[in-house]
Amino acid sequence: MTIPVFDGHNDVVLRLDEGRSFLEESSEGHLDLPRARRGGFAGGLFAIFVSGPEQGDMGGKPDGPYSFPLAPAIAPEVALARAEHLEEILRALDAEGAIRLVRSAAEIEECFAAGMIAAVLHFEGAEPILLPDDLERFYDRGLRSLGLVWSRANKYAEGVPFRFPASPDTGPGLTEEGKQLVRMCNRLRILIDLSHLNLRGFFDVADISDAPLVASHSNAHALCSSTRNLTDEQLDTISGSGGLVGVNFAVGFLREDGMVEPDSTPLDTVARHIEYLVERMGIECVGLGSDYEGAAPPAELGDVTRLPALFEALRDRGYDDETLAKIAHGNWIRVLRETWGE
Encode pLDDT of 222-249 as tens digits.
999 999 999 999 999 999 999 999 999 9
% helix, strand, coil for the chain, step of 5: 40, 15, 40
Query: What's the rounded mean pLDDT across residues 192-202?
Result: 98
The angle subtended at Cα 24 by Cα 20 and Cα 26, nearest 5°, is 65
Identify the H or E element spanning 330.
none
Residue-level pLDDT at 135: 96
Residue among 213, 214, 245, 10 nearest 122 (CA): 10
Backbone angles phi, psi at 80, to 5 degrees: -65, -45
Instruction: Specify the higher pLDDT residue, 126 or 85.
Output: 126
pLDDT value of position 187:
98
Range of the domain at 242: 5-340
Mean pLDDT of 49-71: 62
pLDDT of residue 61: 53
The model's pLDDT over 81-114, given as tens digits with 9 standing for 90+, comes to: 888 888 889 888 998 899 999 999 999 999 999 9
Closest CA to 334 of 211, 197, 203: 211
The answer to whether 41 touches 304, Cβ cutoff 8 Å, is yes
Q: How many CA atoms lie within 13 A of 187 on its CB side?
A: 9
* pLDDT (average), residues 141-160: 95
Using the predicted structure, report yes or no on whether residue 182 has a pLDDT greater than 60: yes
- The radius of gyration computed from the CA coordinates of the chain, to the nearest angstrom, equals 18
Q: What is the 3-state secondary structure (H, E, C) of 82-145?
A: HHHHHHHHHHHHHHHCCEEECCCHHHHHHHHHHCCEEEEEEEECCCCCCCHHHHHHHHHCCEEE
Number of folded domains in the chain?
1
- Counting every residue, how long is the chain? 342
CA atoms of 235 and 245, how far apart (whole Å): 8
DSSP structural state of residue 18: T
Which residues share a beta bridge with 10? 46, 292
Which band of pLDDT confidence, cut at 50, 70 and 90, is reported for residue 66? confident
CA distances from 315 to 7, 38, 99, 275, 302 (A): 19, 19, 30, 12, 20
Q: Poorest-confidence range of 35-44, 51-60, 113-122?
A: 51-60
Closest by CA position to 68, among listed 164, 145, 142, 154: 164
Sorted by sequence, the CB contacts under 8 Å of residue 95 that are 6+ apart come out as none
What are the start-end ranges of the H helices in the chain? 12-17, 33-39, 76-96, 105-114, 132-140, 176-188, 199-208, 232-240, 267-281, 307-316, 321-325, 331-340
pLDDT exceeds 60 at position 6: yes
Amino acid symbol at 183? R
Alpha-carbon torsion 254, 225, 286, 340, what sign? negative
Count of CB atoms within 10 A of residue 330's CB? 18
| Residue 289 near residue 329, CB atoms below 8 Å | no
- Peptide bond before 53: cis, by omega within 30 degrees of 0? yes
- Quote the DSSP letter at residue 211: S
- For position 155, what pLDDT does the model report? 94
Q: Assign 67 a pLDDT band (cuts: 50, 70, 90).
A: confident
CATH number, position 218: 3.20.20.140
